[in-house]
Amino acid sequence: MVNENVLVKDKHRKKKKFSKWLLIVIIIGVILAAVFFIGFFLREPVNQITIENPLKNIVFSNTNEAGEVNKEAAIEQGITEFNKDYIIYLLASLGTNNLHKSYAGHGPAKINLIIDDETWNAQINKGLSVNPQAIQDPDLIIKMSKQTAVEALLSSNIQGYLKSSVGNGNTKLELVAGKIELASKGYLSMYSQLTGEEIQVE
Q: What is the pLDDT of residue 75?
A: 93
- For the question of whether the overall pTM of this predicted structure is more than 0.75, the answer is no
pLDDT tier for residue 31 given thresholds of 50, 70 and 90:
confident
Beta bridge partners of 151: none
E strand or H helix that includes residue 60? helix 56-61
| 1 or 156, which is more confident | 156
Q: Is the pLDDT of residue 7 over 60?
A: no
User: 88-124 burial by CB neighbour count: b if 16+ within 10 A, else e?
Assistant: bbbbbbbbbbbbbbbeeebebbbbbbbbeeebbbbbb
Q: Where are the domains of the chain?
A: 1-43, 56-195
| 202 or 127, which is more confident | 127
| 49 or 127, which is more confident | 127
Return d(Cα 99, Cα 113) in angstroms, integer.
16
Q: Is the pLDDT of residue 45 over 90?
A: no
Q: What is the pLDDT of residue 40?
A: 47
pLDDT tier for residue 92 given thresholds of 50, 70 and 90:
confident
Residues sharing a CB contact under 8 Å with residue 11, sequence separation 6 or more, in sequence order: none
When pLDDT is averaged across residues 187-191 and rounded to a whole number, the result is 86
By C-alpha distance, which of 60, 50, 187 is closest to 124?
187
Q: What is the pLDDT of residue 199?
A: 66
Q: Is the pLDDT of residue 39 over 90?
A: no
Chain mean pLDDT for the chain: 82
pLDDT tier for residue 121 given thresholds of 50, 70 and 90:
very high
CB 198 within 8 A of CB 192: yes
Q: Is the pLDDT of residue 3 over 60?
A: no
Q: What is the pLDDT of residue 37?
A: 58
Q: Is the pLDDT of residue 72 over 90?
A: yes
| 109 or 41, which is more confident | 109
Return d(Cα 182, Cα 190) in angstroms, integer.
11
- The CATH number of 56-195 is which of 3.30.1050, 3.30.70, 3.40.50, 3.10.290? 3.30.1050
Q: Is the pLDDT of residue 5 over 60?
A: no
